[in-house]
Amino acid sequence: MKVSVVGAAGYTGGELLRLVHAHPKLELVQALSRRHAGRPVAEVHPNLHHLALTFRAPQELEPVDTAFLALPAGAAAEVEAGVGERAETIVDLSPDFRGGGLSADGTAYRTGLPELFADELVGATRISVPGCMATAAILALAPVQRAGLVAGDVVVDARAGSSGSGAEPGPASHHAERGNAFRVYKPAGHRHETEIAALAGVRARMTVTAVPTVRGAQVLCHVTPPQPVTRRQVLQVLQRAYRDHPFVRIVARGRGVHRMPDPQFLGGTNFVDIGCAVDEDGGRIVLVAALDNLVKGAAGGGVQSLNVACGMPQDAGLEFPGLHPA
């Protein structure tokens, strides 16, 4: 299956190049970038020197089976019609078509979250991948909501590494401003609240803090159950929900240093780890989920969704298990 990446110079674009190149059933045809056309890919992504590719301008997109759009908000919608004329399938990683948006040809975008929407993804030719922090929160919350363990609003406290802001520098991403900071940059009203409500079925009150790491996102979801519960009950709900899903790991350790999911061990992987704690009186559930924002929260989620759409194993090209120490 021939694949090109539009917006290949960004951090997510680089991860797509890496994953597509290593995929047993995909052939990487082009890396497209407006700013870097004509430059070797390795100048921007030094880990990909082995690809020996040169960036091409977006208007030079050749006919392919699938095009990934790794573009900033608003940019994907501008080019989608032209890309659709050259690619049978489009996988969009921006927010432009989330929530069932329509392609220029009238095709509805399906949600690229195979753990919850695999049936809808089979045969899909337009796929929109949820945001990274939204993915973590949705996968943590959906099973407990479906089990009737959520009463009222949920508080989602999210922490995000600097790569989530993209490759373009700005005042807030300057190292002197970000390097040692724990900056609460969205204390209320984050746009992911809408995604979480639509896909997990709960009303989320979200706060996001920028933390001094490059990769990774972690969310703590504070849930009030309708009646007291135990940690064992919550773990059973999570384990039943994801027992057949290769990329969700339930962290149920009761001792040791790493008892809760930590994104530092998920760099480069397509896993999301989910753990939980419950207050002694059973009146509060704390769900903790972690992932690599550039992989499971973006590029890897897109490749996994394409695998499902095309009838391939979900884990094709996504088997990397992570590193320790990281």
What are the catalytic residues? 132
Provide the strand spans (E) within 195-264.
204-210, 217-223, 248-250
Provide the strand spans (E) within the chain.
2-6, 27-32, 64-69, 87-92, 110-111, 126-128, 154-160, 183-186, 204-210, 217-223, 248-250, 272-278, 285-291
DSSP state at residue 108: B
Q: Which residues pair with 159 in a beta bridge?
A: 209, 218
Contacts of 26 (CB under 8 A, 6+ apart): 1, 3, 20, 66, 317
Contacts of 98 (CB under 8 A, 6+ apart): 109, 111, 128, 130, 131, 195
Which of 289, 303, 292, 298 is CA-nearest to residue 265? 292
- φ, ψ of residue 157 to 5 degrees: the values are -105, 110
Contacts of 170 (CB under 8 A, 6+ apart): none
| CA–centroid distance for 306 within its chain | 14
Six-digit token string for 1? 């299956």
Q: Are strands 64-69 and 87-92 parallel, antiparallel or unpaired?
A: parallel
